[in-house]
Amino acid sequence: MSRVSTSLIPPQAPPPAPPRPFTAGRFFGNVFMGVWLALTIGIFLMMVEGWDPEKFTRYGPNYLSGLGVTLTLVGLSIVLGAVLSLPLAFARMSKNPVFSWFSYGYVYFFRGTPLLTQLFLIYYGLGSFSTELKAWGLWWFFRDAWNCALLTFTLNTAAYQAEILRGAIESVPRGQHEGAAALGLPKKIAFFKVILPQALIVALRPYGNEIILMIKGSAIVAIITVFDLMGETRRAFSRTFDYQAYLWAALLYLLIVELLRNVWAWLEARLTRHLKR
Amino acid sequence: MSGFFTAIVEAVTAALGIVDPLCGPVGIFTLFAGDTLLACGDTGWGDEIALGFLVTGSLALATLPIGLLFGFFIALAKQSEERSLRLSANIYTTLFRGLPELLTLFIVYYGLQILVQNAATAIGYQGSVEINAFFAGMIALGVVFSAYCSEVLLSAFKAIPRGQYEAGDALGLHRGRTMQRIILPQLIRIALPGLGNLWMALLKDTALVSVIGLPDILRQTGVAARVTKQAFEFYAIACLLFLILAFLSSLIFSSIETWAKRSEAAR
C-alpha cells in the first residue's frame, strides 16, 4: 500500500530578486545623467535651430585647414622635440656637473613657466630685437608667428620629453646593465639593444600624455595670430557672434584627443603583450 | 556697518602692503629697482606687476578648494556601485580632460555670459551683463582641475586596501567617520605628489585667464611691454615670477609631504 508519487514537482521559478533600494547614489546618478542628457539635447537643438548652411560652407573648410595647422604644428614640434630631448636627457644624467646643471636649469625653466609666457617671450620678446636679428639674417624666421610657435613648442616639449626619457632610462633596473656587461656587450650596443627598448615601453604612456597635452596646449597659438583650429574658431566667432563656433571646435578637439587616446591604449596593449601573465 | 568693513579691508590692504614681496617696504622692486622701469609708484611698472602677482596667486588659491572638493566627489562617484553615477562622472572627466583649457575658458566665459544675459532678459532687466573675468577663470580652471584631480584621487583610493574599510566597519564607525578618520589621512598621503603636479599645472594655466582680460602677471607685463617697447625684459620678468611661484610651491609641498608622513616609521 505504498504510494509512490510518479510525478515530480514542476520546476519552480526562483524567488523574485529583492527590489533595488533607491539609494542616494542612485538618485544623484539619475540626476546627473539627466543633466548630461538635457545638455546634449539642448546643444543639439541649439545647433539645429541655428543651423545655417551658408555659414557651414563658409567656415567649414576653414576649420579643416585650422585642424591641419594644429596637427602639423604639434607633429613637427613633437618630432623635433624628441630629437632635442636626447642630448638633454643624457646631459641631465651625465656626471659632468656643467652639463647636468645646464640641463636641469633648462628643464626647470620650461616646465616651471606657462607655455603662453614662453610663446610671448619668443614672439614679442625676440621681436623687439629686430635690428639685431636682421643683422644676423634671422629675421625671416622670427617674423613669422608660425615659426615662433614651432620653436617655442619644440623647446617646451623637449624639456618634458627629456624628463620622460630620463625617468624611463633610470627605471630600468641595474641588473639589466650588469647583465649586458656580463655578456660582454659594448656599452653602446647594450644601450640600444637592452636598455632603450625596455625604457621606451615605460615611456610609452607618458609620451602619449605629452602628445595630448601638446595638442591641447597648441590652442594658445591663436593668441599670436596663427590660424590653427582655435584661431579659425575665434575668427568665425568674431565674425558671426555665433556660440556654435566654439562648440564645433570643442567637438573636433574632443574627437582628436579621444582618437589618440584609444590608439595609444591599443598600441600599449600591443607592445606590452609579452609582459601579460 | 559699512564703515566697519571698510576698516577691515583697509587694515588687510595695509597688512598686505607691508608683507608685499615685490612692492612693500622690503619688497624686491623697492630695494633693487628704485629708479628703473620696475620702480613702484607712478614712475615704473613695479606696482602694476605686483598687482598681477597677487591676482595670479589669489586666482590659483581660490580655484584650489573648489577643484579639490569637486574632484573628491567625482572620485567617489567614479567608484560608486551605481552605474549611472559612474557613467556621468566619466563623461565629465573625458570632456574636460579632452578639451583645451583655453577653449574651456572661452566656452565658460561666453557661455555664462549668454546664459546670464538670457536669464536677465527673461526677468526684465534691460542692460547688458558682463561676467567677471576672475569668476569665469575660477570656474573654468576649477572644472579642469577637478577633472584631473578626480583621476589622481581615484588611483589613491584604489591604493587603499579593502581591509581598511572593513576595519572601520568592525569598529562600528559610520561610513562618514571611516572616511574621515581612516581613509582620508591615508588618501592625502598617497595623493599628495599627484596633487602637487596638478597645482603646478593650475598655476601655469592661470596665465590663460589674461586672454579674457584679467590683470594677472602676464597681462600686466604685456601691457608694460607694449608701452615701454621692452618686450623681452618684461616677459622675462613674467617668466621669473612664475618660476618663483613654482619654487615656493615646491617648498611648501615638500613640507606638507613631510607633515603628512610624520606618523610613518622612519626608513
Maximal CA-CA distance, chain A: 123
Residue B41: exposure state from Cβ atoms within 10 A (0-12, 13-18, ≥19): exposed
| Contact assignment for B231 to A108 by CB distance below 8 Å | no
- What is the predicted pLDDT for the residue at B228? 86
Q: How far is A242 from chain B (nearest CA, A)?
A: 10
CB–CB of A59/A245 below 8 Å?
yes
Name the residue of chain B whose CA is nearest to A217's CA: B100
What is the pLDDT at residue B1?
A: 45
Q: What share of chain A in percent tops pLDDT 70?
A: 99
Domains along chain B?
62-216 (1.10.3720.10)
What pLDDT digit, counting tens, does each position of A146-182 carry? Answer: 999 999 999 999 999 999 999 999 999 999 999 999 9
The complex's ipTM works out to: 0.84
CB contact under 8 A, B111 and A219: no
Q: What is the pLDDT of residue B126?
A: 77
- Mean pLDDT calculated for residue range A4-31: 85
pLDDT in tens, B103-122: 999 989 988 888 888 888 88
* pLDDT at B123 exceeding the cut of 60: yes
Enter the C-alpha cell of residue A70.
Answer: 594644429
Distance CA A82, CA A156 (A): 11
CB atoms A112 and B246 under 8 Å:
yes
Q: Chain-wide mean pLDDT for chain B? A: 85
Whether residue B16 is predicted with pLDDT greater than 70 in this model: the reply is no
Cα–Cα distance, A244 to A46 (Å, whole number): 8
Residue B4 has pLDDT above 80, yes or no: no
Distance CA(B112)–CA(B115), nearest Å, equals 5
Query: Residue A29 and residue B103: Cβ atoms within 8 Å?
Result: no
Q: Is residue B28's pLDDT more than 80? A: no
Mean pLDDT score of chain A, rounded to an integer? 89
Spatial separation of the C-alpha atoms in residues A190 and A175, rounded to whole Å: 12
Contact B218 A116 (CB under 8 A): yes
Residues of B in contact with A218 (CB under 8 A): 100
Residues of A in contact with B85 (CB under 8 A): 25-26, 28-29, 32
If 0-12 CB within 10 Å is exposed, 13-18 middle and 19+ buried, where does residue A202 land? middle
CA B75 – CA B150 distance, rounded (Å): 5
Q: Which of B85, B103, B239 sits opposite A29 (nearest CB)?
A: B85
Q: Give the model's confidence band at A256: pLDDT under 50 very low, under 70 low, under 90 confident, else very high.
A: very high
Assess contact for B98 and A258: CB atoms under 8 A: yes
Closest-CA distance, B98 to chain A, in angstroms, reads 5
Chain B residues whose CB is inside 8 A of the A128 CB are 225, 229-232
Whole-Å CA distances, A39 to A45, A52, A203, B93, B146: 10, 21, 38, 16, 20
Tens-digit pLDDT profile for residues B180-218? 999 998 898 899 989 999 999 999 999 999 988 888 889
Residue A78 has pLDDT above 80, yes or no: yes
| Amino acid at site A218 | S
For A88, A98, A102, A214, B243, the CA distances from A159, given in Å and listed in that order, are 8, 17, 12, 12, 15
Which structural domains are found in chain A, ordered by start?
60-275 (1.10.3720.10)
Q: Which residue has the higher pLDDT, A187 or B7?
A: A187
C-alpha cell at A225: 595670430
**Residues B101 and B141 sit within 8 Å (Cβ to Cβ):** yes
Among A19-28, B55-64, B81-90, the range scoring the smallest mean pLDDT is: A19-28
Nearest residue in chain B measured CA to CA from A35: B88
The length of chain B is 267
C-alpha cell belonging to residue A45: 537643438
Q: What is residue B72's predicted lDDT score, i.e. its pLDDT?
A: 94
Residue B31: pLDDT above 70? Answer: no
**Mean of the pLDDT values across residues A53-60?**
83
Q: Is the pLDDT of residue B59 over 50?
A: yes
Residue of B74, B76, B82, B151 best to disrupt the A interface, most CBs of A under 10 A: B82
CA B30 to chain centre: 28
Spatial neighbors of A268 by CB under 8 A, at least 6 apart, are A204, A205, A208
Alpha helices (H) along B83-132:
83-98, 101-122
What percentage of residues in chain B have a pLDDT greater than 70? 83
pLDDT at res. B12: 65
Cβ density class B164-190: b for 16+ within 10 Å, e for less: ebeebeeeebeeeebbeebbeebbbbb
* Structure confidence at residue B117 (pLDDT): 86
A1/B165 Cα distance (integer angstroms): 62
